[in-house]
Structure 1
């Protein structure tokens, strides 16, 4: 008898060299000015082809809403789960707000992902909660040649990672890690 396939959970994100996802005001201006080749190493299109469900925290969701007013939801093909205790405007039928620890939502997430994986968009606290619950397999980080000095951390908590692969995509140094 074969066991069911394991759902792959991947935290795919960008970070400054000093380990921040966003500045103290939740701005990603540092990221949006960096050159990247969309068809270069570790393209988002490859990740999306393997993603059946997306998870993000409340701050990330609010950032997407604030920075894409009037535009369609950027992830209409995947079910998106927003981890929050707050109520949010549901801008697309594929969005579901959930609360609690990742493990408490595992069945829901994996059912939505089907035969594909789960993209942990962010933030760092949510990614660490997935890792703590044994639900984070890999982390792919594109490091930009920028430092902020403060802001939203790449990852909360103490974890060990194994470097699996590296690449350069224009300004970014990319590392793929096993958790």
Structure 2
């Protein structure tokens, strides 16, 4: 069954990027034993991606030689004209997440949907009751401000399904959202 997952890393104080939108604080954990293998296993279960314009522009700004999500159809939610990444299966849309979610489920072919990047897009999925899991990497860093993990309230209590410990104090918490756990603007 296809699950819609928000797989993201955050600081201890709940920010996914610093006040300038940078991720330097996170990249220092890339070499922690087991993290790369864990990510690759997660990615192997992904059949479709969704990201907002800011996340897509961040990926473009990394000046990568190849699209990091090769072979995975990617929906970029935007109201602006954006350049295409050569060779990537990118589908730009300004449609409502509910309508696009059905397309993503079909394209995922039984694999999962990964909501990549910022919490604003994820909040739209959550408000529509379309978010099944939160896979939260918690990094032992306090940023004191920045881009919040999820700028919406989720109704109900999330159920902790798994906890993975990595070196240097990094954790991953896997939460399942209660059915119908739509959010509200905060």
The two structures share one fold, judged by TM-score above 0.5: yes
Task: Name stretches of at least 5 consecutive residues in structure 2 with no aligned partner.
Answer: 178-186
SS in 2 for 1:158: strand
What root-mean-square deviation, in Å, do the aligned CA atoms of Structure 1 and Structure 2 show?
Answer: 1.6
Aligned to 2:65: 71
Deviates more, 1:97-106 or 1:147-156: 97-106
User: Is 1:49 the equivalent of 2:44?
Assistant: yes
Q: Say which of 12, 17, 22 aligns to 1:27.
A: 22
Normalised to the residue count of structure 1, the TM-score between the two structures is 0.89
For these two proteins, the number of residue pairs brought into alignment is 172
Normalised to the residue count of structure 2, the TM-score between the two structures is 0.86
User: Is 1:133 the equivalent of 2:128?
Assistant: yes
Measure how far apart 1:104 and its partner are: 1.9
Counting only pairs closer than 5 Å after superposition, residues 74-85 of structure 1 correspond to structure 2 as 74-85=68-79
Deviates more, 1:58-67 or 1:157-166: 157-166
Task: Name stretches of at least 5 consecutive residues in structure 1 with no aligned partner.
Answer: 1-5
Q: Say which of 163, 175, 178 aligns to 1:177.
A: 175
Measure how far apart 1:70 and its partner are: 4.7
The whole-number CA distance in structure 1 between the counterparts of 2:64 and 2:133 is 33
User: Is 1:116 the equivalent of 2:111?
Assistant: yes
